[in-house]
Amino acid sequence: MKTTLSPETTGNSAAVISDSRPAATGPLLEINHLTQKFGGLCAVSDFNTAFQGGELRGLIGPNGAGKTTVFNLVSGFYKQTEGDLILKGKNIAGMKPHQVTGMGIARTFQNIRLWNDMTVLDNIRISHHYQLGYSLWDSLFRTRKYMKSEDRIRKHAMEILESLDLARFAEEVPKNLPYGIQRKVEIARALSIDPDLLLLDEPAAGLNSRDVQDLIKLIRWIHQAFDVTIWMIEHQMTVVMSLCSWIQVLDFGVTIAEGTPEEIQNNPAVIKAYLGDENI
Amino acid sequence: MQRFTVPILLAILFLVLVGMSYYDLLDLYIQSVIMFVGINIILGSSLNIVNGYMGEFACGHAAFMAIGAYISSIINVMLFTQDRIFGAPLLPPEMSLYFFPFVLLIGGFGAAIAGLLVAIPSFKTRGDYLAIITIAANFIVTSTIINMDTIGGSRGFMGMKQITFAMEDVIFLPWMLIWVILSTYLTVWVIYRFVSSTYGKGIIAIHQDEVAAEIMSVNTNKMKLVAFMVSSGLAGLAGGLFAHILGYINPGSFGILKSTEALVIVYLGGMGSLSGSVLAAILFTLLLEGLRFVLPWMSSGLHWFDGIFYWADLIPDGYQVSQVWKWVIIPLILVLLMQFRPEGIMGNKELADLFPRLRRWYSFK
């Protein structure tokens, strides 16, 4: 995977961020006592964390530990039973997912959810919906506002694709692309909203070992080039251990450990959760 | 240069049709067929917004047509004619010509508001369940009209012919044909621009993955609202034209059968293909009208065959193949279509996607 980074691409993409977004003062995201119950099942209980901005963190745990539930709560799909989600000083509880996205949280999905019958370019273009800045009437009469906005979006979309070396797939339909490229397109789509926080839900799922190595490089590069905070769920320990500076471990919705990769690797509670008890 | 070819061709088509009607080169029957082609284009392509581009299954499109038809007819009759219910005209009948397009648009606007009846449930409901809601909406609208005695109830509402006569008194032109053609152009233009903008493409994103659309900052509820309102508004426009062409409307003509016709056009043309809907509307209307002649020919042909060959008994003596058979043949075509080409004539492609060479000749804006 060749990743070319030229200073002007990143410079321009930063310039396109809409002004409507609140400026970050204090911590980027604070999660306090987050709890989610589905009926009698406690999917997440008393989850706490805070992002200052600029971190690259991991969230791991066995299957069914509630990792994706945390992401679904942060991105607004579920409304939490208890607790606070504070993004840039603003409580995002009860916001719709598209509003949360508009405030600067982008995410990818465990199973790739691209719009499969649209070209890659259109996939990226539609993700600019929150910063269109024109209405139905503008789109009917093709006003100057519409033209400017569409030009800007197309340019920005092409920049994102070029910076991730995907420009040659711009007119292709995702369903015809190899799985690894689809992953990358999904990450590109998430980046196209100029997020402050990027949630990656198992980005390495279904990739072969060479693709995984490329993905590690890609995520590290994105983290620096786009100046974005990344929070990832991942099962493949090579990815988490080589990328993340701080890891939290969930088991049955409870945070059982957190710390640096080395601490986590040697934590008895984590080993127990993953491998089971020594005494059967 | 390419960007002018389509407007020029459309202008020529418009002038030829209007001119030929003006000089009586087209008889009234052919004129009415052309007008129904136009109405079916509006109906089919507007339903395509919801059923094709947004991937829902709305099967109560005739309800919005009815609302548009009744609103525009009532306003016109109230303003410009001496009517049993509404009394003397409020404005001189000659004014009707200038007011007509606005009245049509008001009808469309009313239908768009009625579109909320389906749009709001669609926030939480999808697929089959929404389909049931749309059928229910169709019945709600028709039964409401049936129970409103002031506007004729199930007997229907008339008086719109006077409007068309009043318009022709001012300037003698085939006004209804003009309005139908202009409305058809308007509809195709609106839909094309809507679905080709990044804004409108949001509804295609909803079709392909609603969760992804919502997470990628598409306000899905708002887009559904817009899509349903544009779709039903345009259906209301078609209804207004329909009412003024026939000069008489009754709730029965906006039932499930009418909604089904619109559905047939969408699925015949291909979901999510604007040129497909236009093509299918033309084909479908011509087929419907063609069968009007073909069925009697079939009938007499079969009798002739039986008469020549004493052993043949293809058709009972004295039996005429009636027009009812139309509704056997057309559904049969639908069955065959779903079997052998379920994606419709055009699939979800446009004309220029299938014939890239056409791009050299025109660019559609």
Closest Cβ opposite residue B202 in set A109, A129, A193: A129
CB distance from A17 to chain B under 8 Å? no
Question: What is the distance in angstroms between the Cα of B228 and the nearest Cα belonging to chain A?
Answer: 13
Cβ-Cβ contacts under 8 Å, B348 against chain A: 117
Is the ipTM of this structure higher than 0.90? no
Answer whether B202 sits within 8 Å of A126, measured CB to CB: yes
The encoded tokens of residue A19 equal 């002004």
A81 against A2, higher pLDDT = A81
Question: CA nearest B193 in A: which residue?
Answer: A140
Interface of A with B in 172-231 (CB under 8 A): 189-190, 193
Interface test with A, best of B190, B196, B198 (most A CBs within 10 A): B198
Question: What is the distance in angstroms between the Cα of B198 and the nearest Cα belonging to chain A?
Answer: 6
What pLDDT sits at residue B226? 95
For tokens 């039986």, what's the residue?
Answer: B306
Alpha carbon distance A7, A50 (integer Å):
30
What pLDDT sits at residue A9? 40
Alpha carbon distance B1, B292 (integer Å):
42
Interface of A with B in 55-84 (CB under 8 A): 75, 77
CB of B17 within 8 A of CB of B177?
Answer: yes
Question: CA nearest B207 in A: which residue?
Answer: A115
A191, containing H or E segment: helix A179-191
Question: CA nearest A137 in B: which residue?
Answer: B194
What pLDDT sits at residue A1? 40
Bridge partners (DSSP) listed for residue A42: A37
pLDDT tens across the length of chain B (365 residues): 677 888 889 999 999 999 999 998 888 999 999 999 999 999 999 999 999 999 999 999 999 999 999 999 999 999 988 887 777 888 888 888 899 999 999 999 999 999 998 999 999 888 899 999 999 999 999 999 999 988 888 899 988 898 889 888 888 889 999 999 999 999 999 999 999 999 999 999 999 999 999 999 999 999 999 999 999 999 999 999 999 999 999 999 999 989 989 999 999 998 889 999 999 999 999 998 998 888 888 888 888 888 888 787 777 877 877 878 888 888 888 888 889 888 888 887 888 777 777 776 666 65
User: Reduced to 3 states, what is the DSSP secondary structure of residue B33?
Assistant: helix
Cβ-Cβ contacts under 8 Å, B200 against chain A: 139
Tell me the C-alpha to C-alpha distance, in Å, between residue A135 and each of A143, B218, B223: 10, 13, 11
